[in-house]
Amino acid sequence: MIDLNSYGIGMRFDEETMELTGFKGKRDVRKLEDMRGMFMEPDEGIKDLYYMFRGVDSFDSIRYDVTALLPGMVGEEYIKTKGHYHPDAYPEVYEVMKGKAFYLLQRSDDFESVDDVILVEAEERDIVVIPPHYGHVTVNRGDGVLIMSNLVSSRFSSVYEPYERKKGAAYYITVDGVVRNGNYGSLPHVRRAKPREARDLGVVRNRPLYTSIKNERDAFGYLEESEEYDFSGVFEFE
Ligand SMILES: [Fe+2]
């Protein structure tokens, strides 16, 4: 059992059953067969890739979700989420609760051409803001389960089609490093980054997301209306 109490949610994650204890909703499973076109080399060996617990709690129209990614590989690639863009300019914010993650972000205005790619390396307790107009994939780069939470508006549906059409994100994260996805046209180089504290966006070092939104709901208004906010300081680039 992985105790998540230190993240403020008073729940535990059972690694045997991959269930979040006390979760009232329906667990969604993303299986390899749901993501067959998204990897460089589909592998027959692995069945389940990750588990989504959507709506663990909600704060008006801001949803608090938990996601658990299994460790392991699909071919040469680390297990990852399917990847999507958000419509309009909705941002999102993630927190690593257990394990090690990469957040691979790619900016696009038209869901076709990509003009910025950022690979964010995150450790336990790191909080990563996904700025407006960045599509994102999460990669489990550790050797154990990766558990993360996120806060996101429930007013939109994610856009998966561009990632499906291009067979994944702009780059693949493999054992041999970062590999360009040939289904994209010209691409910028990957900018590597680490997350930074961003108090004006509710991101406070060593304070769990759930604690922050419970105490300061207004600090997350940017998840609904992002225009007035400055996202330029959320990463420290290498
Ligand atoms: Fe998202």
What is the token pair recorded at 151?
């806060």
**DSSP letter for each residue of 121-189:** EE-TT-EEEE-TTEEEEEEE-SSS-EEEEEEEESSS--B-HHHHHTTSSSEEEETTEEEE-TTSSS-PP
Q: What is the pLDDT of residue 223?
A: 98
Give the total number of structural domains in the chain: 1
Ligand 1 mean position, distance from CA 3 (Å): 25
Which pLDDT score is estimated for 47?
84
Using an 8 Å Cβ cutoff, are 39 and 6 in contact?
Answer: no
Cα(24) to centroid of ligand 1, in Å? 22
- Take residue 150 and report the two structure tokens written for it: 């996120």
Task: Give the per-residue pLDDT at 195.
Answer: 98
Instruction: Say if 56 falls within a structural domain.
Output: yes
For residue 143, the CA-to-ligand 1 centroid distance in Å is: 24
Report d(CA 230, CA 25) in Å as an integer. Answer: 34
Residue 64 lies in a domain: yes
Look at residue 180 and tell me if it is in a domain.
yes
* d(CA 103, ligand 1 centre) in Å: 11
In-domain check, residue 18? no
The verdict on residue 139 lying in a domain is yes
pTM of the model as a whole: 0.97
CATH of the domain at 91: 2.60.120.10
| Residue 9, token pair as written in the block | 């949610």
- Has residue 23 been placed in a domain? no
| Residue 12 alpha carbon to ligand 1 centre in Å | 24
Q: Is 226 inside any structural domain?
A: no
The predicted structure's pLDDT at residue 41: 82
137 in a structural domain = yes
Q: Report CA(168)–ligand 1 centroid distance (Å).
A: 15
Q: How many CB atoms lie within 10 A of CB 192?
A: 15
Question: First and final CA of the chain: distance in angstroms?
Answer: 36
- Domain residues for the domain of 116 are 28-219
Q: How far is the CA of 7 from the centre of ligand 1 (A)?
A: 21
34-57 burial by CB neighbour count: b if 16+ within 10 A, else e? ebeebbbeeeeeeeebbbbbbebb
Point out the residues of the chain with pLDDT beneath 50.
none
Give the Å distance between the CA of 134 and the centre of ligand 1.
9
Q: What type of residue is 192?
A: R
